[in-house]
Amino acid sequence: MTRVNFWNEFRLEKSLPGVRNVYPEGLHAPVVAHLRAQGFEVGAASLDEPEHGLSEAVLANTDVLLWWGHAAHGEVQDVIVDRVQQRVLAGMGLIVLHSGHFSKIFRRLMGTTCDLKWREIGEKERLWVVAPGHPITAGIDNYFEIPHEEMYGEFFDIPQPDETVFVSWFAGGEVFRSGVCYNRGKGRVFYFRPGHETLPTYYQPEVLRVIANAVVWAAPRPSATYRFGHFPQPIEKIG
Amino acid sequence: MTRVNFWNEFRLEKSLPGVRNVYPEGLHAPVVAHLRAQGFEVGAASLDEPEHGLSEAVLANTDVLLWWGHAAHGEVQDVIVDRVQQRVLAGMGLIVLHSGHFSKIFRRLMGTTCDLKWREIGEKERLWVVAPGHPITAGIDNYFEIPHEEMYGEFFDIPQPDETVFVSWFAGGEVFRSGVCYNRGKGRVFYFRPGHETLPTYYQPEVLRVIANAVVWAAPRPSATYRFGHFPQPIEKIG
Amino acid sequence: MTRVNFWNEFRLEKSLPGVRNVYPEGLHAPVVAHLRAQGFEVGAASLDEPEHGLSEAVLANTDVLLWWGHAAHGEVQDVIVDRVQQRVLAGMGLIVLHSGHFSKIFRRLMGTTCDLKWREIGEKERLWVVAPGHPITAGIDNYFEIPHEEMYGEFFDIPQPDETVFVSWFAGGEVFRSGVCYNRGKGRVFYFRPGHETLPTYYQPEVLRVIANAVVWAAPRPSATYRFGHFPQPIEKIG
Amino acid sequence: MTRVNFWNEFRLEKSLPGVRNVYPEGLHAPVVAHLRAQGFEVGAASLDEPEHGLSEAVLANTDVLLWWGHAAHGEVQDVIVDRVQQRVLAGMGLIVLHSGHFSKIFRRLMGTTCDLKWREIGEKERLWVVAPGHPITAGIDNYFEIPHEEMYGEFFDIPQPDETVFVSWFAGGEVFRSGVCYNRGKGRVFYFRPGHETLPTYYQPEVLRVIANAVVWAAPRPSATYRFGHFPQPIEKIG
């Protein structure tokens, strides 16, 4: 059974009534509940726990890590970022949500600024499927809408994705590559744009479905072994 | 000097007053004039000429071929499509415009249906740059608008592009990968979406600029040689 | 249960003793046997059957099609190639083996010549994993060797792969991208290089394992729907 | 005129006679001389200079930076790595050579370990062109050989390249993706494998030619502008 862990910064729910009202138990809560209902084993971790809740032991038992952060990216310790990066490269799946685009771990794995345009007026977002054969799109009917969301607009400073799955249309006039896949080492990374903290996005069935699909896609699977380092003997006789 | 050839189906300008009024000398005319003003050597060819104007001699003297067709894709002879394909694979650039997405040559080079959604109500299109380091975007300021265009919407059934340069926002609610690059053999292919025949799109400066940039990008350049076929002698002694 | 069909040209086994001796029941036979032993439902089809054994009914019941051809690519009817292409774009997996690089269906889906260098002296091939997280590599230990194979060398005239999984080293001095993945429409395509008809390649466990892995990878899976064609009504009110 | 800067760690030439004998003026010297002869404006910088020779002013006047390091990656200050990364994302070209695969700047831009296999017995390397239309291959005849080189073997832990240009064959039995291109932000990055410090690789004409081609390819060129940050006003009127 795939073991999922949702890392939520979990600060804004405590400091801002406008967030707490929407997500009284944390914005991870509806996602965790949905994934459990789908049969996944799901834990949660957050910034203010020791080691941000991401001890070696926790990560060793995590197949897919979800990441939501916004106000305190800078407080995430580099040693934990190193640890998560190593686990991803060794095969753990990583799903980065919304404002996690600016997290240390996402910028670390991308190598770019991950910067973008944004606007917070609760406009309509429509996510179009541009890779309808991709398993992350299972059950989606060519597009789905989120009635009110924060806008993220291009240029989104990321490496060219290995696969682009969703492109968003915003009522205010922008577009955004809102679902993008990367292979990094043996791990799979999915960035999924929706999820502003004052809006009920993580209760919406299509959003939950995409996240659950992404968990399945990102989970480690049997694959090849590899070698690094010094191999002084040639395989072939030279000469 | 880069030698350009604009292949225009050139039927609708003759049969439909609504097209002829906008493009009295053919919809290729403003593009040809602009490219000439930029210093390119530019010819034109069309469907009803012998060999559709694309004899071996013409193609041998073409560095970059532009292609616009719509109503008569089926009348293009397969032998000419073969010829153009071979020239592209040998290094000629190809720029496919608008309804050329359904041309034999584009579908041949893509291997897919190249199908899409469409709507013809003259809505606003806004083309966003999603690869701001790409030379095809030179001189463009993060986006540009076309006040009235035909809509093309996703899913656009093309292979994942080698580079996606523009993504369009449409007032009616759709998005579209409207500028996409491919390498095929030694040739470069650029598909550029705008250009409905009843609208003055090909007079718009940004559109002309992108096409001129694409000609520069797609032009053949010095590169490696390669070998195909039977090489019975190994390079290395075996055994 | 994934339904597999192995299309084998199946001529050389009849005309050449050197082939028949190695594969008395056809070179598809050991692959078919292995896949059945793995629990797949597996059929076989060949060139000299009516419709080359690929009727609409057969294809409608095929999840993944394997393709081996060499001496008679030109005899495959275009109508059957059209049919297979449409099925792939609609989601059927396709695994093209060895000399199938020159088959009509592979060239159709690639849009390029698919040409290469070759040499037939039975030299050693070593296939290196360059994407160790890819499920097609499951169970492979960083590389595997085929003691005697035909050589295929670069340049291999294919579009840049969506993922390159194996790169081959040949004793005679060449390299080759010998396992490459493509998405085309909703379908997945895997080209796998090994399999010369006079050599016992298709009895080798690693080769069989890769093919079985590729069947799992290429099988259709739930994904999004899409729309093509005329949608005269905008989704959003314009004005 | 393109302004090039070769950053060489420049320690081994001083500490190891075996290196100094081959490159008495530093291993950058023959590359610098060749690029100057080609008409580029070329400077050099090294680890033990203040700010490693990469002040803001120097980088502001650098179009393409070459990078060779091996024994002292850890001594490169993070503030300088940050600075180089920002310049690359803003459009400066970067060419990373040989053991620079483990430099902080390359790992920063890739997001992966950039680890690999290696062996130092001076075996033959043959670099095959797998993208013969790429301008970095200009003047190369399908492959070239380096008589004696250090071996680097797969798995090379890098993101899937935006374009793979060279694949190496090694006499000892390995293969390696030895020339790979990336777009990062507005900048272009080329990793080129050859260049062991005790071998005269950087005197070889084909190696010099590839590096000169890469400088041309990586140089910044006119392209689009972009916006980041808060844009509170929608472009379109909403509602």
CB contact under 8 A, A111 and D184: yes
Per CB distance under 8 Å, which residues of A are interface residues toward D? 85, 89, 108-113, 115-121, 123-124, 151, 153-155, 157, 159-160, 162, 171-174, 182-185, 226-236, 238
CB contact under 8 A, D223 and B142: no
CB contact under 8 A, A137 and C224: yes
Q: Which chains touch C (3 or more CB pairs under 8 A)?
A: A, B, D
Q: Inform me whether the pLDDT recorded for D232 exceeds 90.
A: yes
Using a CB-CB distance cutoff of 8 angstroms, which residues of chain C are in contact with residue A190?
A: none
CB contact under 8 A, D137 and B223: yes
Burial class (CB in 10 A: 0-12, 13-18, 19+), C56: exposed
What does DSSP assign to residue D64? E
Q: Which chains touch D (3 or more CB pairs under 8 A)?
A: A, B, C
Say which residue, B238 or D219, is predicted with more confidence: D219
Burial class (CB in 10 A: 0-12, 13-18, 19+), B15: exposed
Let me know: does A109 contact A82? Beta carbons within 8 Å: no
Amino acid of residue A202: Y
C130: closest CA among B160, A164, A186? A186
- Using CA coordinates, name the residue in chain D closest to A89: D112
Let me know: does B230 contact D145? Beta carbons within 8 Å: no
**Looking at residue A99, what is its pLDDT?**
98
The predicted-structure confidence for D81-115, as pLDDT tens digits, reads as follows: 999 999 999 999 999 999 999 999 999 999 999 99
Q: D210 CA to chain B: closest CA distance, Å?
A: 11
Mean pLDDT, all residues of chain D: 98
Helix/strand/coil percentages in chain C, nearest 5: 30, 30, 40
Q: B115 CA to chain C: closest CA distance, Å?
A: 6
CB contact under 8 A, D177 and C130: yes
Q: In 10 A of CB A161, how many CB atoms?
A: 19
CB contact under 8 A, B111 and C113: no
Q: Inform me whether the pLDDT recorded for B239 exceeds 80.
A: no
B104: closest CA among B91, B93, B94, B90? B94
Per CB distance under 8 Å, which residues of C are interface residues toward B? 85, 89, 108-113, 115-121, 123-124, 151, 153-155, 157, 159-160, 162, 171-174, 182-185, 226-236, 238
Number of Cα atoms under 13 Å in the Cβ half of residue D166: 31
Average pLDDT over residues D125-145: 98
Residue A124: C-alpha distances to residues A174, A191, C37 (Å): 11, 20, 52
Paired sense of beta strands D64-68 and D175-184, if any: unpaired
Q: D32 CA to chain C: closest CA distance, Å?
A: 31
What SS3 class is residue B203?
A: helix
The predicted-structure confidence for B71-125, as pLDDT tens digits, reads as follows: 999 999 999 999 999 999 999 999 999 999 999 999 999 999 999 999 999 999 9
- Using CA coordinates, name the residue in chain A closest to D157: A185
Number of Cα atoms under 13 Å in the Cβ half of residue B74: 1
Q: Inform me whether the pLDDT recorded for A203 exceeds 90.
A: yes
Q: B23 CA to chain A: closest CA distance, Å?
A: 30
Number of Cα atoms under 13 Å in the Cβ half of residue B9: 25
Cα distance between the two ends of chain B: 52
Q: In 10 A of CB D74, how many CB atoms?
A: 8
Let me know: does D175 contact C168? Beta carbons within 8 Å: yes
Grade residue D195 by pLDDT with cuts at 50, 70 and 90.
very high
Q: D130 CA to chain A: closest CA distance, Å?
A: 20
CB contact under 8 A, C142 and D155: yes
**Looking at residue A15, what is its pLDDT?**
96
Q: Which residue among B160, B184, B234 sits closest to C112, beta carbon to beta carbon?
A: B184
CB contact under 8 A, B167 and A153: no
What sign results for the dihedral spanned by CA atoms D164, A191, B144, B124? Answer: positive
- Using CA coordinates, name the residue in chain B closest to D133: B186
Using a CB-CB distance cutoff of 8 angstroms, which residues of chain A are in contact with residue D232?
A: 119-121
Q: Inform me whether the pLDDT recorded for A151 exceeds 80.
A: yes
ipTM: 0.97
Using a CB-CB distance cutoff of 8 angstroms, which residues of chain C are in contact with residue A223?
A: 132-135, 137-138
- Using CA coordinates, name the residue in chain D closest to A110: D111
By residue count, chain C amounts to: 239
Q: Which residue among A129, A160, A173 sits closest to B169, beta carbon to beta carbon?
A: A173
Helices (H), chain D: 12-15, 17-20, 29-37, 56-60, 78-89, 104-110, 205-218
Residue whose entry in the numeric block shows the structure tokens 């404002």: A99
Average pLDDT over residues C1-26: 97
A236: closest CA among C173, C178, C151, D201? C173
- Using CA coordinates, name the residue in chain D closest to C239: D237
C66: closest CA among C56, C78, C53? C53
Using a CB-CB distance cutoff of 8 angstroms, which residues of chain A are in contact with residue D108?
A: 111
CB contact under 8 A, C228 and B157: yes
Q: Inform me whether the pLDDT recorded for D239 exceeds 90.
A: no
Give residues with Cβ within 8 angstroms of C55, minimum separation 6: none
Per CB distance under 8 Å, which residues of D are interface residues toward B? 91, 126, 129, 131-135, 137-142, 162-163, 171, 183, 185-188, 221-227, 235-236
The predicted-structure confidence for A85-116, as pLDDT tens digits, reads as follows: 999 999 999 999 999 999 999 999 999 999 99
**Looking at residue B79, what is its pLDDT?**
98
**Looking at residue C239, what is its pLDDT?**
72
Q: Inform me whether the pLDDT recorded for A142 exceeds 90.
A: yes
CB contact under 8 A, B167 and A156: no
Q: Which of D113, D134, D152, D154 to mutate to test the interface with C (most CBs of C within 10 A)?
A: D154
* Structure tokens belonging to residue C112: 């390029």
Average pLDDT over residues D187-198: 98
CB contact under 8 A, A231 and D123: no
Q: A120 CA to chain D: closest CA distance, Å?
A: 7
Give residues with Cβ within 8 angstroms of D37, minimum separation 6: none
Q: Which chains touch A (3 or more CB pairs under 8 A)?
A: B, C, D
Using a CB-CB distance cutoff of 8 angstroms, which residues of chain C are in contact with residue B124?
A: 238
Average pLDDT over residues D130-145: 97
